[in-house]
Amino acid sequence: MARKKIALIGSGQIGGTLAHLVGLKELGDVVLFDIAEGIPQGKGLDIAESAPVDGFDARYKGAQEYADIAGADVVIVTAGVPRKPGMSRDDLIEINLKVMQAVGEGIRTYAPDAFVICITNPLDAMVWALQKFSGLPANKIVGMAGVLDSARFRHFLADEFGVSVQDVTAFVLGGHGDDMVPLVRYSTVAGIPLPDLVKMGWTTQEKLDAMVERTRKGGGEIVNLLKTGSAFYAPAASAIAMAESYLKDKKRVLPCAAHLTGQYGVDGLFVGVPIVIGENGVERIVEVEFAADEKAMFEKSVASVTGLVDACKKINPELA
């Protein structure tokens, strides 16, 4: 059986980490694409030279031409610019929207059958625009955010409780902004919901609220520490989990920005919700019942996404 082909559009911090993880996990051969000449070639060669040490087989190719992504099974998009301290994700909209147009046209021409994962920010608007520019069916394109946001929450929780991250599950929905919606009721340690753990004295409501807030601002925390860019290890790991679920038909239930057609009362937007990812891409959208306060938080988050999409339509009237 031929190896799968994974195209990475953008070979910066996240793109390079994705390329390394694809090799370490032997998910397939990699095309690293970037407008910056030499970067994808250099990173590809460096990782290929690590393969004999780590013992994995994968071919790496650096590319500046979209023709090189032809026939890709999975395309992961990180092309664009990241945040610097003092910037919000929304400040990136104008420049990254133009990048999505170029990337979308490349995918439309050379990889129309791929499963596409968008990471470029502002995430929920960029994945929406990328779907329009690429013409991909809605089940074949998703945005990565919820897996990362829940991984951050899981890390904080595991640290607080002194338990394995493997036994902590977390549920974070909504747009990928500071008003995302961590649902504590659906977040557990070995199946025990967080509100029960508060009652059991494992933590206090104040500490739990602080962890929720830290999760919401988790991206900014890293930007302020790094000063020159944004998080890349955890974002890359999160997108790889999504790609792996597709490539291996694992049918994992993962929170992703998916195209909604009425679910959660949202129509025509990409918003973070739990989905099942398998060989057909988005195979199911899981719709949970919200409590009144959760519904209000979700609606606020959706309003932010609507605002971003409206801004895209203003910048590029073709999208309206």
Minimum CB distance to ligand A3D, residue 119 (Å): 5
Residue 280 assigned ligand-binding role:
no
Residue 34 assigned ligand-binding role:
yes
User: Of 82 and 182, which CB lies nearer to ligand A3D in the complex structure?
Assistant: 82
User: Of 197 and 272, which CB lies nearer to ligand A3D in the complex structure?
Assistant: 272
Minimum CB distance to ligand A3D, residue 162 (Å): 27
Residues that bind ligand A3D (CB under 6 A): 9-15, 34-36, 39, 78-83, 92, 96, 99, 102, 119-121, 123, 144-145, 148, 176, 229-232, 235
Residue 14 assigned ligand-binding role:
yes
User: Of 39 and 309, which CB lies nearer to ligand A3D in the complex structure?
Assistant: 39
Of 20, 155, 176, 259, which is the active-site residue?
176
Minimum CB distance to ligand A3D, residue 29 (Å): 19
Residue 120 assigned ligand-binding role:
yes
Q: In what order do the strands lie in the sheet with 188-189?
A: 168-169, 188-189, 192-193
Minimum CB distance to ligand A3D, residue 230 (Å): 4
User: Of 229 and 278, which CB lies nearer to ligand A3D in the complex structure?
Assistant: 229
20 is catalytic: no
> CB–CB of 68/57 below 8 Å?
no
Residue 152 assigned ligand-binding role:
yes
Annotated catalytic residues are 176
| Binding-site residues for substrate | 83, 89, 121, 152
Query: Annotated binding residues for NAD(+), as ranges?
Result: 10-15, 34, 96, 119-121
